[in-house]
Amino acid sequence: MTQIEIKPPKTRSGRPIVPTRPRGTQADAAADAVGFLRRLGFAVMVVLLPVAAVIMRHAVVVIAPVGAILFSMARLIESEGREPLRRMWRLIWTPTAGLLLFLLFWAGLSLLWTPFFDDASERLLKATGVGLFAFVALASMPPRMRASNLYLSPLGAGLGALCAIAWVMTVPNAKTAIDGEGPVLVRTALSVTWLAWPGLAWLLMRSERAFAIALAVVVVSAALMTEPRAALLALLAGTVAFAACVIAPRLTNLAMQWILALAILAAPLLPFLVTPLARALLGADATVLPPWEIWRDNVLNEPIRLFTGHGLDTALRSQLAGLLATGAPQSILFEVWYELGLLGALPLALLVFLAVRNAARQGEAIAPCLIGAIVNLFAFACVGLVGSQTWWLTLIADLSIAFTAVIHGRFGTRRPKAFVSR
């Protein structure tokens, strides 16, 4: 009888043949759509926004929601409709979300006593829309962000800075252009400088120090050429906080938590301290005195308003209507107390405190950049006219989305070395 020997099929390099899923399936199409929508939405928020903000009047408030919608659609497809609603429900019960909801509730309740109901209602509706799109985008953040997507953040900040430099050098009236909500260059400088912080964090986390230095140089050059004083002072404050956090992280984090929070809570005491000090050092005719005197007189004449405020959107409109002396401080410290009182200042102080505390827990590369961004934002709010303007709130939302994406991309930034023992 003849025996037949059956030999196993030959394999290349001794490796077994592993069956693969054929391309072109429904799952592949869904995965490709998810990847495309997520990259497109993130690119709109971190690349198109800083570039378009240089030349388009309403680029900030129009482009960011579009990018957030595309970004959220990717998560909706990926989870087959289960997300982001489930994660949104979990986020609602966080302390930060609770403080934001209370602040929104109190701002809405202040419409009962504001003298500018129609304008304040419109402002509140826009602020609610900004918070909603940011909330949906944050709830749609995947557990891991791809590195190829996160490199868009420094790319967008760099392109925005170059566009700002080119616009200032080529447009004759660039530095004096004004639209409905203030100078154009203020929003241009803020869009570039604020969105550079998450890009810088990602480059430092990837140990791309040369590119990080190049990005910082381009952004600082753009800020110097646009020349809005408030934006430059705010950027300087953020840079100092960044350097201090690198040198002494624990002390800086603790100091920033209490300094920023106490600055908001103790703001009504500032005019009583600054006014006599300015008179003693600069004289009775110093130009810095009138805003502080107006604030001091307002506190003395209407002490009950320290608890309730005058209502949303009244700090600037009261001056235009003659209800408040012209020349009042243009600062978030004055505006939050004048409009919302103690019940508005207290949740804001807690939000800033929690933001700095959570930033300190994000690692060596992210924490200094995140604290620098918070100080940069807070410093501008103290020296610039912002209040609840929609473009400013939208920039904050976009910044939070970009930083959250960087935090979700920090895992697996370097592949571990494989050691094979024979």
Give tens-digit pLDDT for 23-36.
555 556 777 788 88
Mean pLDDT is highest, among 227-236, 369-378, 382-391, for 369-378
Q: What is the percent of the chain with per-residue pLDDT over 90, rounded to a whole number? A: 33
- Interval 118-124 mean pLDDT: 90
In 3D, which of 240, 234, 155, 163 has the Cα closest to residue 200? 155
Is it the case that residue 385 has pLDDT exceeding 80? no
- Interval 339-353 mean pLDDT: 93
Domain residue spans of the chain: 28-267+342-408
Q: Give the number of other Cβ atoms within 10 Å of residue 21's Cβ.
A: 8
Give the distance from CA 258 to its chain's centroid: 20
Coil, helix or strand at residue 408 = helix
Half-sphere exposure of 5 (CA within 13 A, CB side): 1
CB under 8 A, 24+ apart: contacts of 207-216: 211/154, 212/154, 214/158, 215/154, 215/157, 215/158
Q: Give the number of other Cβ atoms within 10 Å of residue 355's Cβ.
A: 22
Determine the pLDDT at residue 317. Answer: 86
Farthest-apart Cα atoms in the chain, separation: 121
Q: What digits encode the pLDDT tens for the residues 86-97?
A: 777 788 888 888
By DSSP bridging, strand 178-179 and strand 182-183 are: antiparallel
Give the distance from CA 7 to its chain's centroid: 65
Q: What predicted TM-score, i.e. pTM, was given to this entire model?
A: 0.86
Q: What digits encode the pLDDT tens for the residues 396-414?
A: 999 999 999 999 987 654 4
> Cα 120–124–126 angle (5° rounding)?
120
Determine the pLDDT at residue 104. Answer: 92
The better pLDDT of the pair 46, 175 is held by: 46
Q: Let me know: does 249 contact 367? Beta carbons within 8 Å.
A: yes
Determine the pLDDT at residue 420. Answer: 43
Is it the case that residue 422 has pLDDT exceeding 50? no
Q: Let me know: does 48 contact 156? Beta carbons within 8 Å.
A: yes
User: Rounded to an integer, what distance in angstroms lies between the CA atom of residue 198 and that of residue 125?
Assistant: 28
**Mean pLDDT score across all residues of the chain:** 83
CB under 8 A, 24+ apart: contacts of 201-209: 201/365, 201/366, 201/369, 201/370, 201/403, 201/406, 202/150, 202/151, 202/153, 202/154, 202/406, 202/409, 203/154, 204/365, 204/369, 205/363, 205/365, 205/366, 205/406, 205/410, 205/413, 206/147, 206/413
Determine the pLDDT at residue 175. Answer: 59
Note if the bond before 84 is cis, omega within 30 degrees: yes
- Interval 110-116 mean pLDDT: 91
